[in-house]
Amino acid sequence: MIEEDNSVNMENAPAKGAGSYHHGDLRVAVIAAGLKRLRDGDETGLGLRALARDVGVSATALYRHFPDKEALLDALADEGLRRLGALQSQAWLKAGGGRTGFLAVGIAYVRFAYDEPAVFRLSFTRQMAERCEPGVNGGEVGYSLLRAGVAQTMPYLDDPDVAALHAWSLVHGLAMLIIDRRIEWDDALVERVVGMTFGGVD
């Protein structure tokens, strides 16, 4: 049900000198640098040349991992979804699953959007279903947790997929209202709103 967290560890991906990367390290470092630029509000600096400078290599060195900017943005979006799924998994486990875990998963979703709005927006505005490689989808963990929550809290439902979509729609809409500054972040309010779907069904 809960997949292993394979997300990029930004703290363990420091920039290195040109030519000092082992196989696979460069891709990890570039994704970490891209996520940092997003977090810092520098979305215009998400080019291959800029990120190559960030990690201390030539732009040519990046093409094996990212043939163009679109591939880079897809990789950043997928990593954002992986990070979101990892946070939701942690919330589920910490709460002990069940109804409490279901509620925690929903709150973690909204919290991630609030904490990292640029990463969240990018992750959900890329055409991942059409562009991602077969079998690679960072959003699978979060959706699996939604289905698990529905199954444990509402076992009587005939169509758990519809219920999972309903729950996803609720937290995504709430997240967008918050990051678009239509409403202010309020921990108690978020818990109450999410709880109407994620924790309030007897």
Answer yes or no: are the C-beta atoms of 113 and 120 closer than 8 Å: yes
Summarize pLDDT for 132-159 with one digit per residue, the tens.
Answer: 555 556 677 778 888 888 888 877 878 8
Tokens describing residue 188? 């108690």
Cα torsion 136, 108, 70, 130: sign: positive
Mean pLDDT calculated for residue range 120-138: 70
Closest CA to 102 of 202, 188, 199: 199
Structural domains of the chain sorted by starting position, each given as residue range(s) with its CATH number in brackets: 10-198 (1.10.357.10)
What tens digit of pLDDT does each residue of 155-200 get?
787 888 888 888 899 999 999 999 999 999 999 999 999 998 876 5
Rg of the chain (C-alpha set): 18
The CA-atom distances, in angstroms, between 187 and each of 110, 165, 169, 173 are 10, 23, 19, 16
Residue 182 CA to its chain's centroid (Å): 22
Tell me the per-residue pLDDT of 74-116, one tens digit each, with 9 for 90 and over.
Answer: 999 999 999 999 999 999 999 998 889 989 999 999 999 999 9
Q: Do 153 and 94 contact (CB within 8 A), yes or no?
A: no
Greater model confidence, 119 or 16:
119
Q: What CA–CA distances, in Å, run from 11 to 43, 75, 90, 148, 178?
A: 20, 18, 18, 31, 28
Q: How confident is the model at residue 31 (pLDDT cuts 50, 70, 90)?
A: very high
Whole-model pTM: value is 0.81
Tokens of 198: 């994620």
What are all long-range contacts of 126-132, with beta carbons under 8 Å and residues at least 24 apart? 126/73, 126/74, 126/77, 128/74, 128/77, 128/78, 128/81, 131/70, 131/74, 132/74, 132/78
- To the nearest 10 degrees (0 to 180), the angle between helices 140-153 and 69-95 is 30
H/E segment holding residue 136: none
